[in-house]
Amino acid sequence: MEGNERLDSAMQERGLKQHELADAVNTHLIDHGHEGTVGDRTVRNWLTGRTSWPHLRQREALEAVFGRTAEELGFSPTTRRRPSTPPEDPVDRRNFLAGAGGTTVAVVAPFLGAPPQVGTSDVILLRSGLDALMALDDTKGGHEGLERAALAGAAEALEKQKLGATQRIRRRLFSVAADYTATAAWSALDARKGDRAYALLGKALYLAGMAQDPVAEFRVWNSYAMLAHQRGEHTQAVDSAMAAQTTRITRRDPLFASLAHARTAIGHANHDRQAALRSLGHAQEVLGKAALADPRPSWVAFYGPAELTAITAIVRDRIGDSAEAEAASHRALASIPRQFRRNRALATARLALAQVHQGDIDQACSTASTAFELMTGDPIPGRMRSLLGDFYRDLITLAPDATVAQEWGDRYRSEWSRA
């Protein structure tokens, strides 16, 4: 088996590592309404020559990424040799079937139209598509292409569920469908499409129940809490976060318990300072008990000490502790991993808010500008546009005559509305 030197050379020219090429191919696939299921292993198979001719959609994506044909990238179609079994004499075949008195037909017929059985390998393949979608979300945020691909994944999982070989496999496929639907809901939430997100969360919660999956159930309640906060329904935000706290996974894994407490703190921050700080304390305490390296679903990979620090900044700013919020934002930006580009941009916008609330207008404008730079090349997700809108509203309220405030608005108004 020979390696694909042309593809390797093209990747070196573009400065692409294996996971970066996988992300680029998945982005193209998802933007064109397909599932992004390419991972590091797929790219390794291309490079080693194990896969000499990717399927059509992957070839088209590779050609778009590199601006070269699949052949120029070292791929070539494989030719399959047909079996050399001599053709059967049709007369002998008819005689055999007639002599069997129809017995052979009776035995074979039930299997001729039988649907294929679905098993563990199908579940694993579908879950790998979820990982690709979450990697795209980390970079670009919620958008229509991601939601469309997630719903296609949910539909495929539900179709396969009908063919599941065992009850256990069917439950696992319900779980996959719940996660895909929750991903679509999250994409709508991040895009500030509240009604759409609410409807999808209801479907995801139903599927999580059918799957008897406490992790998927937790994910839905976590998103419900975020949606309620987004809508200004602070009591419902607290209730949803507390529902997340009661799911079984929080008793088994402190990381999920910490996230639920952190979400509760945000809900309290709008009307109950002490309750907000108390929930933050619980979140920090239980996170210290979590084994951060344990395997978990890709959708929760964003959460850890860095994200809790970013949430602390939100809570502190909302309860009026802007200086503490600024310090927490700086700590968060020093530790949020680079691949979480959207979250880094959000934390940057939060830092700008904390600075403007302290009257540091020049620094706040400079910081807010960095959020746009972090999202260069992609549309601004609706949730971030709303946050930057909050910044600009507070900016002109606190310093309506400041030249720097007017210049900031004039310079970034077009980017701010970039969708």
204 pLDDT above the threshold of 80: yes
Which of 156, 158, 163, 152 lies closest to 174, judged by CA? 158
Q: Which two tokens stand for residue 274?
A: 């002490």
What pLDDT shows up at residue 418? Answer: 52
> Phi, psi (5° rounding) for residue 274?
-65, -40
CA angle 357, 358, 364 (to 5 degrees): 75
Compute CA 180 distance to the chain's CA centroid, rounded to the nearest angstrom.
9
What pLDDT shows up at residue 109? Answer: 35
Q: Cβ(40)–Cβ(18) under 8 Å?
A: yes
Angstrom distance (rounded) from CA 213 to CA 253: 14
What pLDDT shows up at residue 415? Answer: 67
What pLDDT shows up at residue 33? Answer: 64
What is the four-CA torsion angle of 283, 284, 289, 291, rounded to 10 degrees? 90
Mean pLDDT of 160-182: 88
What is the DSSP-derived secondary structure letter of residue 378? S
pLDDT digits (tens, 9 = 90+) for 291-338: 998 888 889 988 999 999 999 999 999 999 999 999 999 999 999 888
What pLDDT shows up at residue 356? Answer: 93
User: What average pLDDT is seen over the chain?
Assistant: 84
pLDDT digits (tens, 9 = 90+) for 102-152: 333 333 333 344 456 777 888 888 888 888 888 877 666 777 778 888 899
Q: Could you give the C-alpha distances from 205 to 69, 127, 162, 249, 300, in angstroms and in order?
A: 44, 18, 19, 15, 17
Mean pLDDT of 57-66: 85
Rg for the chain (alpha carbons), in Å? 26
210 residue type, one letter: M
What pLDDT shows up at residue 102? Answer: 38
Mean pLDDT of 37-56: 85
